[in-house]
């Protein structure tokens, strides 16, 4: 099952043991593969190669990864085996895709739609910051990207009306601020994630944020649960495990 859908990928990769099943993707032909560090020395250089699938061997990668193409970025090995650590002020992972629509030219020809990471997938990766003054480890400014089975040591920030990522079965912990910050009309879906041991709230929502929260686990945060700057339009299910829904300025007993 781990290699389902990828039977046409080069045989030298078939023996690799991947963690769990790959995220479900829309039907497509088998993509070209770039292996890090075999084929490219860094994750960013592998992304720039323009192939549809980037596989990353276990190890520590000191860089800030920017997703600039619709691809699958998959860490090999067990959970936490692939670690990305940003050394400066840039987040360890930046998701900021855009799409160029179909346009008709004067001669009747059409420009095909193009995308720069708007629908990328990140699976089984760990992201952290070396700079302890920077809380944001993952930053999404636009796109409907998917993060599954990832670990984030720091804040995940989702900002902007075009930002609507999906986070599923991720662990967000150890932030010096809020675990998950959703603001500026951003949306998205957060499902079956663990938000634990963050300095402030597990989740903080700004006005007009519209996320969908389903079946998440909040524990050991400075303010367990969801902190609201103002009344948001978020949809939270009964199976979200949080202790309180509070307004800014209220205290938690």
Distance CA(172)–CA(35), nearest Å, equals 27
pLDDT for 50 equals 84
Contacts 24+ apart (CB under 8 A), 14-23: 16/55, 16/76, 17/76, 17/77, 18/74, 18/76, 18/124, 19/75, 19/76, 19/77, 19/78, 19/79, 19/124, 19/149, 20/124, 20/149, 22/72, 22/74, 22/123, 23/72, 23/121, 23/123, 23/146, 23/148
CB 82 within 8 A of CB 93: no
Instruction: Read off the DSSP letter of residue 40.
Output: -
pLDDT for 131 equals 85
pLDDT for 79 equals 94
Distance CA(225)–CA(105), nearest Å, equals 52
DSSP three-state, residue 12:
helix
Region at 41 (left for phi over 0; alpha for psi -120 to 50; beta for the rest): alpha
pLDDT for 228 equals 87
| Tens-level pLDDT at each residue, the chain (253 residues) | 334 444 444 344 444 544 334 444 434 455 689 999 999 999 999 999 988 999 999 999 999 999 988 999 999 999 999 999 998 889 999 998 655 555 555 666 555 555 578 899 999 999 999 887 889 999 999 999 999 999 999 999 999 999 999 999 999 999 999 999 999 999 999 999 999 999 999 999 988 899 999 999 999 999 868 988 865 455 555 444 443 333 333 333 2
Distance CA(138)–CA(152), nearest Å, equals 7
User: Which residue ranges make up each domain of the chain?
Assistant: 59-247
CB 165 within 8 A of CB 144: yes
């Amino acid at each position: 099952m781990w290699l389902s859908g990828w039977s046409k990928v080069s045989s030298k990769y078939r023996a690799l043991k991947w963690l769990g099943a790959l995220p479900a993707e829309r039907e497509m032909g088998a993509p070209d593969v770039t292996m890090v560090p075999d084929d490219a020395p860094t994750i960013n250089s592998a992304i720039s190669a323009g192939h549809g699938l980037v596989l990353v061997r276990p190890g520590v990668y000191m860089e800030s990864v920017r997703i600039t193409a619709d691809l699958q970025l998959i860490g090999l090995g067990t959970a936490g085996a692939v670690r990305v650590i940003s050394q400066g002020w840039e987040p360890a992972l930046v998701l900021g895709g855009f799409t160029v629509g179909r346009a008709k030219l004067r001669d009747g020809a059409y420009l095909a739609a193009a995308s720069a990471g708007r629908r990328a997938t990140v699976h089984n990766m760990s992201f952290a910051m070396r700079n302890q003054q920077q809380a944001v480890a993952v930053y999404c400014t636009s796109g409907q990207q998917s993060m599954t089975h990832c670990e984030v040591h720091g804040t995940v920030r989702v900002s902007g009306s075009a930002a609507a990522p999906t986070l599923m079965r991720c662990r967000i912990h150890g932030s010096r601020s809020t675990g998950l910050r959703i603001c500026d009309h951003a949306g998205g879906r957060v499902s079956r994630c663990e938000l634990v041991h963050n300095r402030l709230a597990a989740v903080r929502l700004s006005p007009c944020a519209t996320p969908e929260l389903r079946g998440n686990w909040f524990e050991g945060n400075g303010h367990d649960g969801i902190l609201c700057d103002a009344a948001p339009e978020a949809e939270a299910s009964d199976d979200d495990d949080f202790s309180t829904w509070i307004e800014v300025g209220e205290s938690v007993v």
